[in-house]
Structure 1
Amino acid sequence: MKVHERLDQELSKQGKTQAALAEAVGVSSATVSQWRSGTKTPSATNLVKVAGFLGVQPSWLSYGELGGKTKTVDPKQRDAYRRECVWYHRPAPQDAGRELGNAAGFAFHGGLSTFGRETSQNILDEAQPGQPTVEARYTLIEISGSRLNSFLEAIKFDDLKPHLEAAADSRQKVAAVIRRGLSALADDGRLILLRVEDYGAKGLVGPEYDDGNYMAVVRNILDSFKGDNAGGSYGLGKSVMWACSQFGMVLINSTLSVAQDGKREGRYIGRLELPWHRLTAAEAGSPEAYAGPAWFGEKDEARGDVTRSYWGNEALALDTYLARDEDQPGTSFLIVGAYDPDERFQTIEDMHDELVRALAANFWPAMVERAGDDPGMMTALVRSERNGVTIKSDLVDPHSYTPAKARMLRMHRDDLTVDSLEQPGDVVRRRITLEVPKRLSDGAHGSQQHEAVLLVTEADEDDTDANRVAFLRGSHMVIREELVPGLRMGSRTFHAVVLAGLAAGGEPADKAADRFLRAAEPPEHDDWMVTPDVSSSYARGYGTALKNFRIEVRKAIREIVGRPTRDLSDGPDALKELLRINPPTVDTTKRPRVKSAVGKPDAEGRWSLDVRVSLPAREAPWRFSPVLRFGTDSGAAIPVVWEKLVPETRCTVTGDVVVAEAGAREVRFHGTSRADTHPVMASLATALVDVRVYKEASK
């Protein structure tokens, strides 16, 4: 079943109407109709709202019963893979040289955050051309008892164990990790697996022993095999998967977008990344020394002991937790003996939370819905299960983790930006010029001027990540986020983001800028700086161009936020705190503030808005009236009447008065404007929401 089928089925089962769902989510009935028919797919944010209305899990609504499926295994297929799949260990070179670990695995600062960042970047890079949204799914799996024994038998772990023990018998860093993994497996009797899947991607296309995605991932080192405007460029990102395995083992199952030798489904291969090691004659036969890498697959008779892809065996995929849920092209990777190299997280619950945090922090721009409520470039699901029982499941919603930033980008995509910060929720858009130097290496272009997009919105004073600017380009991964220095006293607290390269548009200059900025990224893709790729490919002036670009971004931000706050009676809050002599028992300078107001005109020409209001701490409940105004191209904002206010979280509504629950720090409600009070058409105005606070606690 697809998303629309589960939605339609659940609405019918519960006897709830399409109109009621539309009102609860804040969209038109026509939009819900499109969701039910499958002509349109809800964004992750709307899926969370729909799931809340129906009382189901967002992950179920989006993906169905993941992990809970039982399939009948064909015993003939199981017998076949047990007979035909073997491990091939590359012999040591004749000159006796030793590689005591893969250097690519040490190129990044380790940890699950890096793992999530690099693997999701690769998933975005591998999105199938013409595919609007690629799905990323992360599943943590803990197995023990019979499940563990069956898995180890399927991957022929007994054949591997002598190699693992020999590789662990050294003083190398990687050897210590293998020793701990073997010890934990023996002592605890459990194993953690981490599956990373993409759907709507290319899959591991390409021949077995020649150029292509398959070779770049499975056999080659430092082979990126990506386009000029991809996120990755060094071929290093894949190494984090092996680095997060205590055994250096990753198993792979892929459905191809383009057939290879007439086959598309179930391309299976395993790769083991060990350092050089030597077995005793009794263990190894001949030879005794091994280079380190090994591959699990079908023996290639034409090449001796070498193994190659093993195709179309569903029993092998099921027995090794790599069965794919749909026939969409893409790849599933299984990290065997998954762990956190930073050793901060040991349980699958803690690892789960860290992956969710990492995906939200690094890829919120890629997950924010496009104009018209269409899903963003990527959706992400994180699940955890223990011996087949789901423990946690999170559909990553950028509006839940970075609400102000997500709303800011959404306002830009809906073209609802303004020239200056006047009302809560305003988003200012400015153009910042990047001078792209002449490209020397292939004569592709001369020097060009690229116009990046800067977005700025006001933040809550207590936001811990405020006064920072995030930088991103066409991959929509956050490249860098940094504090803005030199802010004047009294400047507004803010969030800012810079959309550069193809994130700003699709013109030739945008593409040239994206290529330049990609070249300016180090292997970690966490900065724009002068790299060997930049200095060898571009005319001089590249360093100045990068420096001036950052200077202009900071200058524009300081100008936008440097104006005085709306409440000029007592000066900035920070200054009032410093000058206070006799502090009052209640801080009367703080008041409820609109944290976000997200929406758009509906089919009936009304503004439909989801509003979040942050509340300062106090014992008595806050009581206020939301004020709706229309901002136009010129003149002051014009008041508009609410048609309906619907409480959603920790509040009640009577007429146009919202009363928060005692102790609530945030309330949410949905509002719809009354069309006959509009001074202009809703589509020609920006909806601005503020609050009028009542002094008495409640009535």
Structure 2
Amino acid sequence: MDQEQIQINEAAKWFFFSGGPGAPRYGDDPTKHAVDHDSEAFVREVLQNANDQGLPNGDPVEVTFRFVTLTGDEKEVFLDGLGWYDGLGERMRAVADTHNGHRYERVVKRVNDPEAELRLLVVEDRNTTGLTGSWNGDSNYAALVRDELYSSKQDDTAGGSYGLGKSVLWTFSGASTVVFNSHLTSKRQDDSPRLIARSKFPTHQLREDDTTYQGAGWLCKPIETDDGPRPESFWGEHASQLAEQLHVERPAVSGTSAMVVEFQDPTRDERPDVEDLAQEFVDASVKYFWPAIYRGDLEVTVETPEETLAADVESVPAIRPFVEAYEERTTEVQTLVNPGDVAGLDIPVNLPPRADGTETPDGSVRLSARLASPADDDSYLNNIALFRGAGMVVKYYDQSRVAYGDRNFFGVIAAGEARSEGIPSDSDLEIDRFLRFAEPPEHDEWESTENLREQYQRGFRMALDDMFGTLRDGLRHLISKGNSGDSLSDNVLNRFPIHGSGNPRSTTSPADPVFEIDSSSRFDGDAWVISGRIKTLPEQFDGWSADISLTGVGEDGSRYDDIPIDYVEIEQSGVTVSQDDGCVRLVADEDVDDLSFSGRSHSDEHADLVHGDVGATQLEILAELQTSEEDQA
């Protein structure tokens, strides 16, 4: 190590904020318990963060996962650059002595064992914005290096809105330490690269120091400010030299490299081979980001000391049927006949106004399905891949209940900016925004969230329920053997108003909504409590009816057995209530245009569904309007 490198290492210090008497204590990083923590989840979250930071220049975001193993002298040089012998190791030993410090004790033993290797994982992204901004204020840099559970993403089509995904970097570090090296696209581009490291430890005390230190620490150049000391990044040549010593050097292009110290999968007891991990990373990249990869928006490679693997949509057989369904999603065919055929439908989406009163345009998402063949990999048979403009599959939505006989399928819902091949419409942009806020922190579902409640007026839950209900009806139509030609069958025509043809069947056009329906269910001790409201929209009608049923829904979105409804109460007159096999039927006369109901499911201590073990329910209301001519669904 030359004299200049020694000076740089001496300038690099570990800085921790201290807490005075009464300051809160941190047993561990709470975000470690917020998402699933297997290697698949790691790849998903890291790629989403990189994909969201892509530059608007038409070039793809490039991400490389690089595994590095260190032993002997290389290991010692790395540890010296990391400040292991100048503060970090002492702190980790102090944390290892605490009641929840077993994971750190294992790292300390591995470091001290001259025969043991250190495993590093570098995640390098290119054609992204880099760590722009300062410690103070709202910026990419502050969100990653300073903040917790905060996202600086401002784009409505970005994949994440919680700032939670970045936590996986520390979760998968046995040392709870990550090093960042970045080339910026901002006015400080000429000063790049920029380097800083951050650790997330529990609150701790050093053995010969009575000071209590907060959990987060930074390998940096500490500086004094009017607000007290704070960490400062390394820049330029100093950053470059330290990055080389820490194996986190990168090409001089915009983006960030994050190096996870002592990479581990916290869900595994055994330490997997690097080659096996590399293949898992490729499979996970394709599984969740094949839309972005297929469109040329994202390129992913995985490097080990022995080989380099590329994440190609053709390299994972289980994904190919979905790619084919997406390739041919604009087909006008609406019937699946032979194995390998693709058919598609537009699924209407009716959004409520935004919270500020701004009206939102109604639009659609595109459903396309491919009929399965015996040669297909059936890992995700009868699943629908849900994704929007970000190009990440939010979920593989199991619709096995729709399949029957040999009518198995693979399907996609291309929503928002992913729906069309051209410039997205205003409705596409709004649907993309809506569905972004419908994603929970794990980004693995489209559901009612607190974000939706803050961003949209009443009706957002109904918009999602209607979209998924129409999706199932459309899917049944596509795979049905009984359909002839390309027209939708009569019993589902009115749920697809943009496909209506011929003369209207009543004074209300099939393109117009007939009912406004809202509903909810919650578990209350030993049964499900249900409530809802049904409002007719046409001014003239001869009466209407509605069938109410309750179904258990698993955590993966799959439907279980129906949950019998014990009773439903109606306050309005002019409504007849009857029950049949656990379902309730309402029949209203022409004077009832707005009806509220409440009820309760059957209580049975031996039924897991009734006890809420399934986790959620789906309350379905199928309403039918009667006119002087014919029924209107």
TM-score of the superposed pair, with normalisation by structure 2: 0.71
In the alignment, is residue 449 of structure 1 matched against residue 362 of structure 2? yes
Q: 1 CA distance for matches of 2:21 and 2:361?
A: 52
Paired amino acid for 1:249: T
In the alignment, is residue 233 of structure 1 matched against residue 233 of structure 2? no
Query: Aligned in 2, Cα 1:474/1:279: closer, same or farther, shift over 3 Å?
Result: same
Contact 1:383–1:394 under 8 Å retained in 2: yes
Q: 1 CA distance for matches of 2:180 and 2:292?
A: 25
Q: Which has the higher helix share?
A: 1
Q: 1 CA distance for matches of 2:471 and 2:276?
A: 37
Q: CA deviation at 1:104?
A: 1.8
- 1:521 is aligned, of 439, 442, 456, to 439
Contact 2:402–2:472 under 8 Å retained in 1: no
Contact 2:52–2:159 under 8 Å retained in 1: yes
Q: Which residue of 2 aligns with 1:475?
A: 390
- 1:328 is aligned, of 227, 244, 253, to 253
Q: 1 CA distance for matches of 2:427 and 2:186?
A: 32
Query: Aligned in 2, Cα 1:191/1:565: closer, same or farther, shift over 3 Å?
Result: farther
In the alignment, is residue 161 of structure 1 matched against residue 89 of structure 2? yes
Query: Aligned in 2, Cα 1:508/1:94: closer, same or farther, shift over 3 Å?
Result: farther
**What are the ranges of 5 or more consecutive residues in structure 2 without an aligned counterpart?**
485-633
Q: 2 CA distance for matches of 1:565 and 1:519?
A: 37
Q: Secondary structure at the match of 2:362?
A: strand
Contact 1:491–1:562 under 8 Å retained in 2: no
- Equivalences for residues 316-355 of structure 1 within 5 A: 316-324=242-250, 326-343=251-268, 345-355=271-281
Q: Secondary structure at the match of 1:546?
A: helix
Paired amino acid for 2:232: R
- 2:178 is aligned, of 250, 254, 258, to 250
Paired amino acid for 2:372: A
Q: Secondary structure at the match of 1:247?
A: coil
Q: CA deviation at 1:479?
A: 0.6
Contact 2:342–2:368 under 8 Å retained in 1: yes
- 2:47 is aligned, of 103, 120, 129, to 120
- 2:304 is aligned, of 384, 388, 391, to 384
Q: 1 CA distance for matches of 2:207 and 2:106?
A: 22
Can you list the C-alpha shifts for 1:219-273, whole angstroms capped at 9, x where unaligned? 111220102221011011100000100111000000001123x644210000010
- Equivalences for residues 279-678 of structure 1 within 5 A: 279-281=206-208, 284=209, 288-302=211-225, 305-312=229-236, 313=238, 314-324=240-250, 326-343=251-268, 345-369=271-295, 376-385=296-305, 391-401=306-316, 402-412=319-329, 418-440=333-355, 442-443=356-357, 445-461=358-374, 463-487=378-402, 489-505=404-420, 506-563=424-481
Q: 2 CA distance for matches of 1:551 and 1:96?
A: 51
Query: Aligned in 2, Cα 1:132/1:427: closer, same or farther, shift over 3 Å?
Result: farther
Q: 2 CA distance for matches of 1:450 and 1:86?
A: 55
Paired amino acid for 1:233: S
Q: 2 CA distance for matches of 1:417 and 1:392?
A: 44
Q: 2 CA distance for matches of 1:220 and 1:379?
A: 29
Q: Which residue of 1 aligns with 2:576?
A: none
Can you list the C-alpha shifts for 1:632-664, whole angstroms capped at 9, x where unaligned? xxxxxxxxxxxxxxxxxxxxxxxxxxxxxxxxx
Q: 2 CA distance for matches of 1:131 and 1:105?
A: 35
Aligned Cα root-mean-square deviation (Å): 2.2
Query: Aligned in 2, Cα 1:449/1:264: closer, same or farther, shift over 3 Å?
Result: farther
Q: CA deviation at 1:427?
A: 2.3
- 1:100 is aligned, of 27, 30, 34, to 27
Q: Secondary structure at the match of 2:402?
A: coil
Q: 2 CA distance for matches of 1:491 and 1:117?
A: 33
In the alignment, is residue 179 of structure 1 matched against residue 105 of structure 2? yes
Q: CA deviation at 1:464?
A: 2.8
Paired amino acid for 1:139: R
Q: Which residue of 1 aligns with 2:551?
A: none
Q: 2 CA distance for matches of 1:489 and 1:208?
A: 58
Q: Secondary structure at the match of 2:442?
A: coil
Q: CA deviation at 1:523?
A: 0.6
Contact 2:439–2:449 under 8 Å retained in 1: yes
Q: Secondary structure at the match of 1:470?
A: strand
Contact 2:361–2:426 under 8 Å retained in 1: no
Contact 1:417–1:426 under 8 Å retained in 2: no
- Equivalences for residues 16-35 of structure 1 within 5 A: none
Q: Which residue of 2 aligns with 1:216?
A: 143
**Aligned residues between the structures:** 470
Paired amino acid for 1:478: V
Q: 2 CA distance for matches of 1:562 and 1:81?
A: 70
Q: Secondary structure at the match of 1:98?
A: coil
Q: CA deviation at 1:93?
A: 3.7
Query: Aligned in 2, Cα 1:329/1:264: closer, same or farther, shift over 3 Å?
Result: farther
Contact 2:132–2:140 under 8 Å retained in 1: yes
Q: Which residue of 2 aligns with 1:192?
A: 119
Q: 2 CA distance for matches of 1:152 and 1:90?
A: 23
Paired amino acid for 1:378: L
Can you list the C-alpha shifts for 1:306-325, whole angstroms capped at 9, x where unaligned? 3211001322111111111x
Can you list the C-alpha shifts for 1:378-397, whole angstroms capped at 9, x where unaligned? 01001112xxxxx2321000
- Equivalences for residues 34-45 of structure 1 within 5 A: none
Q: CA deviation at 1:92?
A: 2.0
Can you list the C-alpha shifts for 1:315-349, whole angstroms capped at 9, x where unaligned? 2111111111x322000000001100111652212
Q: CA deviation at 1:169?
A: 1.6
Q: CA deviation at 1:471?
A: 0.6
Q: CA deviation at 1:426?
A: 3.1
Q: 2 CA distance for matches of 1:234 and 1:411?
A: 34
Q: 2 CA distance for matches of 1:454 and 1:81?
A: 57
Q: Secondary structure at the match of 1:448?
A: coil
Q: Secondary structure at the match of 2:366?
A: strand
Q: Secondary structure at the match of 1:250?
A: strand
Paired amino acid for 1:404: P
Q: 2 CA distance for matches of 1:503 and 1:416?
A: 15
Q: Secondary structure at the match of 1:547?
A: helix
Query: Aligned in 2, Cα 1:93/1:116: closer, same or farther, shift over 3 Å?
Result: farther
Q: 1 CA distance for matches of 2:403 and 2:138?
A: 55
Q: CA deviation at 1:400?
A: 2.0
Q: 2 CA distance for matches of 1:430 and 1:76?
A: 68
Q: CA deviation at 1:97?
A: 2.3
Q: 1 CA distance for matches of 2:142 and 2:402?
A: 50
Paired amino acid for 2:145: V
Can you list the C-alpha shifts for 1:347-377, whole angstroms capped at 9, x where unaligned? 21222122112111111111114xxxxxx11
Can you list the C-alpha shifts for 1:276-313, whole angstroms capped at 9, x where unaligned? 011122xx4xx521111110112324476532110013
- 1:132 is aligned, of 24, 36, 59, to 59
Contact 2:360–2:427 under 8 Å retained in 1: no
